[in-house]
Structure 1
Amino acid sequence: MTEVTQAGIFQLGDLSVTRMGYGAMQLAGPHVFGPPKDRAAALAVLRAAVESGITHIDTSDFYGPHVTNQLIREALHPYSDALTIVTKVGAHRGSDASWNVAASAAELESAVHDNLRNLDLDVLDVVNFRVMFNAAAPTEGDIEEPLTALAELQTKGLIRHIGLSNVTERQVAQGRTITDIVCVQNMYNLAHRHDDELINRLAKEGIAYVPFFPLGGFSPLQADALSYVAEQCEATPMQVALAWLLQRAPNILLIPGTSSVAHLQQNIKSVNLQLPADFLSSLDNIGI
């Protein structure tokens, strides 16, 4: 058993993935736009992730755009049968690096084909629909039309499974009336606990919850509390934050991103960090 698999395996539909995954967003240039500063280092971290036992890579063709998918293809193709690549659609990048809504049926179909081409795949394992009513936070709105368009692409055999990103509980409920939803990807961490009830509900349904920004938005006081636990555990604050997420619920899958092999290895070590009950209690109070 590799260090990564000690965190456990989760079923995304018929796909088995390691709960400790890898997010490729940081492999693009500044502001997730343009090529990486060090292409060789970007390729190295992708290969190191897979060699470590990670079987879940998160990406999108609007990272770059096209950059991270092309790096994944160069580093890892032909892909191992064990590897699951999860991508996102619903946005496109302007020439000024802006993030723009791309949720019409035609735009979604184009995005799916962009992902297929740049990843060199015949079918996408999982496609998350990124809701962009408000790019900064989940915002209520009807998602029937775009999700129906993705479901039609699924019936054509271009997509295996569908997930949702940046969504409210109502949108998750609506999505599940249209197609099977295998994962929800929202911002969540120790300091931002707005999805606590949603995570618990999804856990009962066997649906994955994939938090992004696992160490973002802490106040100085909250950061001090996290740093204290990290010091007592002889770990980094990031390792403690990741370990807390793994212990928070069995359906939480992690996709921490990095462009450094050394940082990747640090993140992986968090799977072996079992936080004692008193520290868990202390950390639980950070976001309340």
Structure 2
Amino acid sequence: MEFNEKVVIITGASSGIGAATAIHLSKQSAKLALVGRNENNLKRIALYCEKSKGEKPLTITADITEDESVERIVKETVEYFGKLDVLINNAGVIGMGGVKNSSMETYDTVMTTNMRSVYHLTMLAVPHLIQSKGCIVNVSCIASTKPSTMALAYNISKAALDHFTKCVALELAPDGVRVNSINPGFVKTNLLKGIGLSEDQLELFVKNVVGNMPLKKPVEGNEVAALIAFLASDKAASITGSNYVIDGGVSLR
């Protein structure tokens, strides 16, 4: 799955799944535009990518909840590389609580980050993706179809993202642009630290979650990255509008 000469935008690239995907694609010669809020982490990942194949990524420090930043992501990428082939909408946040114990502030933050920003960035990227007959991969979650009471806003944001994927895939198919999503289960990333757990609580949480997984192992970031790379590659030329689950078997229960 060589990505030689293909230009790829990855949001949320400074850590977690986004960083793993950046590193994976750099080894396949992709030209990367790495987007994130943490400038130091972003530069560290970019340096790692550059060392793997000698291709220096473009780093864009940006908050995808700000319209001007979203516009800048596409503008800077196209100006730097001259085109766009792949958009990976990965950035996201978790907001804890259900309808009885969360707030509208939580709802607005989660939906703005996980859904509105994806809608906006995709709109701006589409004209360039039509030109290149490119593709989009959205990073969703099994929470989109598996109800829980822990993170209502997050769950519905991912359900919306799944339907967005299918609707946009249908709209863009005549233009030769493919759109798919991946739906990971538990992946131990920095995203979980944002829910307020201490290191000990996080370790206990991980142990309990993994213990209840049919495969008895967490999903690794590099496994998710490999699936994203497949869907973004020419080997998936006939796949569009699909939601690919990678969850260690959790959805079977």
Same fold judged by TM-score > 0.5? Answer: no
Task: Compare the two structures and name the one with the higher strand fraction.
Answer: 1
Q: TM-score, normalised by structure 2?
A: 0.42
Task: Compare the two structures and name the one with the higher helix fraction.
Answer: 2
Q: Kindly name which structure, 1 or 2, has the bigger radius of gyration based on alpha carbons.
A: 1
Q: TM-score, normalised by structure 1?
A: 0.38
